[in-house]
Amino acid sequence: MKLFFNTLLILICVNTIKAQCPPTSPTTMTITGLYSADLNPTPTSKVYVTPTATITGNIYLNNSSLYNCGTILSKKITMRQSAYNNQYVLENNNVIKCDTISLDSLGHLHNNDTLICNLFNLYNNTSVDNNYWMDVNSVLIASKSMIGSHGAIKSNYFVIKDTNSYLYNIYGALSVRKLLHINSGSFINGVIFICVDSCFINNGRVNNQNMVTWSPYLKVNGLSTNTGTISTIDFCDLTSTNGGMLDSNSGTLTNITYCTSTQNFCDLSYTAINENINKPKQILVYPNPTFNSLNIQSDQIEFENSEIEIINYLGQTVLKIPYSNNILVSTLSSGYYTLKIATRVGQFYSSFIKE
């Protein structure tokens, strides 16, 4: 029952903490269609990406703000300095999918929806607020930087480095496939669910600060070593030769409860999160650009008995038809369009160019 309630609480949090679009503050530039050039706004300016817009060029934010309500498919995103008037450097309320995100010198990212990238690096007093879903191959938190998470974070490599760099995991879940390494001087606070498939190395500090009424869980399915401090956590290492305890410990353990191999709370909770959190619902359309017709490639059964809506760069619906995996678009004017499929399980999006 306790597990169910904790899991339910996570799902409620990540599904309700979402900012609204458009932003309430004024903007100096609005992107409404396909923006393929690099985006490098002047300092103190604010850019608003509308829900039907897509950015594919690199993004450079230096003391400027970007409010994303559309889709960002940039290869590289770089953020430096805090934006003026206490606004965020980048506030994401839809989908960001990129290769590299780098935050430096007080840069800030507020992720209210879905963020997918390969490399995610934080340096020099930078910060990230995650309220929904992050799927990142490699995360580095360094030089007094932090991630505060109410949602779910999925990663292969998660390294917290340097003094006062940390993850503050409040009512959230962290799943790491290969390596979770907490270096000396760095720490994780407010643990709820942390699942590590391969290797957990703690040279810093892991504790449930400000989580007095909850039971945080740390489960490792591979090697687990501790030279730092772990306190007030239910710890489970199912592959340990020490009967569910740490494989190697020369640090400090306080109020640790060790589980047995029959307990699989972490698997259950994270499976529930994976099944319930809305991952980016992207679909492939081809050929793109197109002149006569557009094909949809997807194995989504939910598309049956659904509706297709095609929206132009001004946000106007120009075509609405029952679902088909082949759409005739020859009558549309040349330009950039968003394709939307509304189903009983959510909305799916893609973009295409009509020649």
Give tens-digit pLDDT for 174-185.
989 899 999 999
pLDDT tens digit sequence for 142-171 = 999 999 988 889 899 999 998 999 999 877
User: Residue 14: pLDDT above 80?
Assistant: no
Question: How far, in Å, are 19, 202, 224, 231 from residue 31 at the CA level?
Answer: 19, 44, 48, 48
CATH of domain 284-354: 2.60.40.3080
Q: What value, to the nearest 5°, has the Cα angle with vertex 56 and ends 32 and 148? A: 90
- Which residues, in sequence order, are CB contacts of 254 under 8 Å at separation 6+? 229, 230, 231, 232
Cβ–Cβ < 8 Å for 322, 307: yes
pLDDT tens digit sequence for 223-260 = 999 999 999 888 888 777 665 688 899 999 998 888 76
H or E segment at 269? helix 265-276
